[in-house]
Amino acid sequence: MKKRTLMILKALLIGLLMVATILATVYLGIDSPVPWLLGFLVVALSAYNKLCDKHKYISWKQEYSVGIKSIDNEHQKLLGLINRFLTASREHPSTFYEQEALEELIDYTRYHFKHEEELMEKHDYPDLEAHKKEHRKMVKRVNELVEEYNLRGQEALEDTAGYLKHWLINHIRVVDQQYSDYMHKRGVH
């Protein structure tokens, strides 16, 4: 079953349970355990849904910091754009929102890579080429995912969002962290 269908079914179930709670209160009265039980189910199911959604989004953690203000700001903006893309792909059944969010994310990723590479070049970072290679690999994979999205539409979005989320977190935590000490020694903060 597609994730979006599952989401609609869950929302429908919560809606039905809410109506059942109101009807049970009207017809059975507040003294009956039935409206209380139904009310509890509505609250529990809504809380469970919220919890599931929360895990799908990324929030900034101090451990992601590379200790360079401008780069941290850009990484934070990238995480925000990924969350926006996740929201667009999950909650707005319109290609306009999805495409707009995806394009903004790709454009900003390119801008960030360029800035990061210029900074490394300026300070003669010894692993610049290996780092650039990682960036190029990501751009290539994203282009492939965009092509897939153009062919398969909404279905390909989960893969794209998942790839971007995991790649970016991993890149920030492992690869970007590698230049942190070097840059600090050069006085870049």
What is the nearest approach in angstroms of Fe ion to the Cβ of residue 105?
Answer: 14
Nearer to Fe ion, 73 or 150 (CB): 73
What is the nearest approach in angstroms of Fe ion to the Cβ of residue 109?
Answer: 9
Q: Is 176 in the site for Fe ion (CB under 5 A)?
A: yes
Nearer to Fe ion, 17 or 188 (CB): 188
What is the nearest approach in angstroms of Fe ion to the Cβ of residue 135?
Answer: 6
The type of residue at 76 is Q
What is the nearest approach in angstroms of Fe ion to the Cβ of residue 59?
Answer: 17
Q: Which residue is nearest to Fe ion (CB)?
A: 176
Nearer to Fe ion, 3 or 115 (CB): 115
Nearer to Fe ion, 152 or 184 (CB): 184
What is the nearest approach in angstroms of Fe ion to the Cβ of residue 134?
Answer: 7
Contacts of 62 (CB under 8 A, 6+ apart): none
What is the nearest approach in angstroms of Fe ion to the Cβ of residue 75?
Answer: 6
Residue 161's alpha-carbon distances to 22, 178, 189, in angstroms, are 39, 25, 31
Nearer to Fe ion, 98 or 176 (CB): 176
From CA 169, how far away is CA 174, in angstroms rounded? 8
Among 87, 73, 72, smallest CA distance to 161 is for 87
Residue with tokens 């929360």: 54
- Please give the torsion angle defined by the CA atoms of residues 23, 28, 34 and 35, in that order, rounded to the nearest 10 degrees: 50
Stretch that binds Fe ion, among 2-10, 118-126, 156-164, 171-179 (CB under 5 A): 171-179
Q: Are 66 and 72 a contacting pair, CB within 8 Å?
A: yes
Footprint on residues 109-148 left by Fe ion (CB under 5 A): 116
From CA 64, how far away is CA 75, in angstroms rounded? 9
Nearer to Fe ion, 71 or 88 (CB): 71
Size of the site for Fe ion (CB under 5 A): 2
Residues that bind Fe ion (CB under 5 A): 116, 176
